[in-house]
Amino acid sequence: DVKVTQSSRYLVKRTGEKVFLECVQDMDHENMFWYRQDPGLGLRLIYFSYDVKMKEKGDIPEGYSVSREKKERFSLILESASTNQTSMYLCASRDGGPTDTQYFGPGTRLTVL
Amino acid sequence: QKEVEQNSGPLSVPEGAIASLNCTYSDRVSQSFFWYRQYSGKSPELIMSIYSNGDKEDGRFTAQLNKASQYVSLLIRDSQPSDSATYLCAGDQAGTALIFGKGTTLSVSS
């Protein structure tokens, strides 16, 4: 059974704090992704990684950074959290072919006060 | 045109009816498409994928792809209240990230 796990289901942080969101997949997938989902805006891609230590900006990378030191783990970092980063954050992984399924983690609901 | 577009709904159908969900896509999206279902507060889960022109059936679900019209649809037969969710259409972008539409909310009334 495929699995993508995220470190927290709910997180509350203060403005200006550094925030780490962790994601682990057990499927040996090449590609990993971070999305945020907001009402009316849908899923928006923040960053993705196609290999260890490789990363690519998505549609909304501003205010975020990522780290992929091991194939199974992809971290999203909010360097200085702001209230407009309050959102649902979804991690996903996928192998490298155009017909391969993308699997999502359970999501982290982040609230920045 | 946005890469993947869906009517946001809500789409309301009575129990037992056929629900029809539609999606159009631009040239930036390749020819593999995926339908995900997302319940409120949960993450998206895959329902169907389709890569070739025509229909693909899986139980009560049928996906349809028309590459000439750049159109993908999902039909849900014998709709049940448990089908009430947001349905996301996604297209592949060169084997890396999927590009998602904003989703259509389906409500099935009993």
Mean of pLDDT values over B83-91: 96
Q: Identify the weakest region by mean pLDDT among A23-32, A33-42, A92-101.
A: A92-101
What percentage of residues in chain A have a pLDDT greater than 90? 87
Considering only CB atoms, A42 lies closest to which of B32, B49, B102, namely B102
Q: A110 near A85, Cβ under 8 Å?
A: yes
A43: closest CA of chain B, how far (Å) = 7
Find the closest chain B residue to A48 by CA distance.
B97
Contacts 24+ apart (CB under 8 A), A6-9: A6/A89, A6/A91, A6/A105, A6/A106, A6/A107, A6/A108, A7/A108, A8/A108, A9/A106, A9/A107, A9/A108, A9/A109
Structure tokens at A36: 């945020």
Structure tokens at A55: 């990363």
A99: closest CA of chain B, how far (Å) = 6
Test B95 with A97 for CB contact under 8 angstroms. Answer: yes
User: In the predicted model, is pLDDT for residue A1 greater than 90?
Assistant: no
Test B100 with A98 for CB contact under 8 angstroms. Answer: no
What percentage of residues in chain B have a pLDDT greater than 70? 97
What tens digit of pLDDT does each residue of A67-105 get? Answer: 999 999 999 999 999 999 999 999 999 987 878 889 999
CA dist., res. B57 & res. B48, Å (int): 9
Give pLDDT, residue A36: 97
b/e map B16-39, b = 16+ CB within 10 Å: eeebebbbbbeeebbbbbbbbbbe
The overall average pLDDT reported for chain B is 92
The overall average pLDDT reported for chain A is 94
Question: Which residues of chain B make contact with A36, given a CB cutoff of 8 A?
Answer: none
CA dist., res. A23 & res. A112, Å (int): 20
Identify which of B34, B55, B39 has the alpha carbon closest to the alpha carbon of residue B100: B34
Q: List all residues 6 or more positions away from A28 whose beta carbon is below 8 Å from its beta carbon.
A: A71, A72
User: In the predicted model, is pLDDT for residue B82 greater than 80?
Assistant: yes
Considering only CB atoms, A99 lies closest to which of B45, B49, B88, namely B49
Q: B95 near A98, Cβ under 8 Å?
A: yes
Mean of pLDDT values over A3-25: 96
* DSSP secondary structure, B32-101, as one string: -EEEEEE-TTS--EEEEEE-SSEEEEETTEEEEEETTTTEEEEEESS--GGG-EEEEEEEESTTS-EEE-
> What's the half-sphere exposure (Cβ side, CA atoms, 13 Å) at B28?
11
